[in-house]
Amino acid sequence: MSELKILHNPRCSKSRQTLQLLQDKGYTPEVIEYLKTPIDKMQIANIIELLGFSSARQLMRKGEDAYKEQDLAKEENEAALIQAMVNTPKLIERPIVLANSKAAIGRPPESVLDIL
């Protein structure tokens, strides 16, 4: 099996459920607590591509206060949206599982099983 990673926030119930699901299925993913170990622009751009998203906005948590405070709803520049996620990692949707040169968001947690 290829490398298996989860971008994880232990305070998020969906993230915890997704990690537990992977472990219950016998997987031992590399856990990346992206709020403690932020990911860079290239990694975010790669995840957007692997998810098949047409815009960085699709990877963003639009309900976060930081999204509103930074007035990101009006931002049209993709590089600026990615930079906002670098600067404020809690804007990144979670959890994200990376495996087999694919990515999936664990909402619901079972959706990540398709890429394993």
Per the residue annotation, which of 4, 5, 12, 107 is the catalytic one?
12
Spatial CB neighbours of 96, under 8 Å, sequence gap ≥ 6? 6, 7, 47, 51, 103, 104, 105, 106
- Give pLDDT, residue 2: 55
Radius of gyration of the chain (CA): 14
**75 phi-psi bin (left φ>0, alpha ψ -120 to 50, beta other):** beta
Could you give the domains of the chain?
1-34+94-116 (3.40.30.10), 40-91 (no CATH)
As given in the structure block, the two tokens for residue 105 are 């968001």
| Residue stretches of the chain with pLDDT short of 50 | 1
**Helices and strands (H and E) in the chain: how many:** 4, 4
The pLDDT of residue 108? 97
Q: Whole-prediction pTM value? A: 0.94
Q: Known catalytic residue: 12? A: yes
